[in-house]
Amino acid sequence: MKIFKDKQVLKNEISGLKNLCFVPTMGGLHNGHKSLIKKAGRFGRKILVTIFVNPKQFNSKKDFLSYPKEIKKDLIFLKKLKINYLYLPTFKDIYSFKTKHKIYEDKIGKTLCGKFRKSHFKGVLNVINRFLEIIKPRYIFLGKKDFQQLYLIQKHIKKKKIKTQVIQCKTIREKSGIACSSRNLNLNESEKRIASKVYHLIKNEKFTIKKTKKIKFDTKQIKRKIMSYGVKKIDYLEYLNTSNLKKVKNFKSKFNIFIAYYLKNIRLIDNI
């Protein structure tokens, strides 16, 4: 595994590589990241991982500072997976050049997480746009765990006619059902139990809708139940069509239930 901190040195190394697989991360690596890397491996090409906790996508300094940073563990984790390149940029390395493309933020970026975390997706699209210009990968691997992010990056790539293909990767979960997330490192055991209850409640709700062909969704009742578990705040709970992230009206559409909620001051998101 070759490690780079300077984009020019990285570019010299990877220029000319035809089918580079790119896995962007913010570190605090877990089985979700591992599955993206494994999937990239199945493409049989060179794999480049980035670790960069992008300050521009955090709307609260406190949240940025408390985001798990585990670089020593991450290095061991990545070495085991035998990736080819790791790019660990500084803020300056990423933000000190003028990009070819301006970012395109689809209007969906103002809904769900975008409504509650102002300029979050602008920050995400900014950094991904820059990575794509530096790395020029053939493939980028993104998790459905962050479905809205995946959706918006896809829209940006399409709109700007960038020659990188998005490979969608399924959500990996812990035994308890909760989605693997770097933020889980900040949860204690009792908070993890609550998160697990939330997951099972939503999963059962979806199952019931499909089975009973329920037409009306009672979000109020579900939200009440979630709060009764000890959840501090729910930003949103929505039933959305997975092809366009619009609200679904009944069981006939292909949908997921999207949630963002707080345990203590830790914000968790999922879609089931």
Residues annotated as part of the active site: 33
Binding mask 160-199 for ligand AMP (x = CB under 6 A): ---------x-xx------xxxx-----------------
Closer residue to ligand AMP, CB minimum distance, 40 or 209: 40
Q: How does DSSP classify residue 258?
A: E
What is the DSSP pairing of strand 21-25 with strand 255-263?
A: unpaired
Neighbouring CB atoms inside 10 A of 73's CB total: 13
- How far apart, in whole angstroms, are the C-alpha atoms of residue 142 and residue 170? 9
CB-based contacts of 110: which residues, under 8 Å, 6+ apart?
none
Closer residue to ligand AMP, CB minimum distance, 51 or 103: 51
| Of 20, 22, 25, 272, the one binding ligand AMP by CB under 6 A | 25
Q: Site for ligand AMP (CB under 6 A): how many residues?
A: 17
CA atoms within 13 A on the CB side of 84: 16
Q: Which of residues 198-257 bind ligand AMP (CB under 6 A)?
A: none
Closer residue to ligand AMP, CB minimum distance, 206 or 223: 206
Tell the smallest beta-carbon distance from residue 91 to ligand AMP (Å).
Answer: 16
Tell the smallest beta-carbon distance from residue 120 to ligand AMP (Å).
Answer: 12
Residue in 82, 95, 85, 89 with CA at minimum distance from that of residue 15: 85
Closer residue to ligand AMP, CB minimum distance, 111 or 181: 181
Tell the smallest beta-carbon distance from residue 71 to ligand AMP (Å).
Answer: 13
CB-based contacts of 263: which residues, under 8 Å, 6+ apart?
187, 191, 194, 195, 230, 231, 232
| Of 35, 154, 219, 253, the one binding ligand AMP by CB under 6 A | 35
Side chain identity at residue 92, one-letter code: K
| Of 33, 39, 117, 130, the one binding ligand AMP by CB under 6 A | 33
Using alpha carbons only, what angle is made at residue 67 by residues 73 and 175, rounded to the nearest 5 degrees? 65
Tell the smallest beta-carbon distance from residue 4 to ligand AMP (Å).
Answer: 18
- How far apart, in whole angstroms, are the C-alpha atoms of residue 271 and residue 154? 18
**Residue 32 binds to ligand AMP (criterion: CB under 6 A):** yes
Q: CA 212, 215, 219, 221 torsion: positive or negative? A: negative
- How far apart, in whole angstroms, are the C-alpha atoms of residue 258 and residue 272? 7
Side chain identity at residue 134, one-letter code: I
Tell the smallest beta-carbon distance from residue 228 to ligand AMP (Å).
Answer: 26
Closer residue to ligand AMP, CB minimum distance, 34 or 225: 34
Binding mask 107-146 for ligand AMP (x = CB under 6 A): -----------------------------------xx-xx
**Residue 84 binds to ligand AMP (criterion: CB under 6 A):** no
Backbone angles phi, psi at 176, to 5 degrees: -70, -10
Site residues (CB under 6 A) for ligand AMP?
25-26, 32-33, 35-36, 142-143, 145-146, 169, 171-172, 179-182
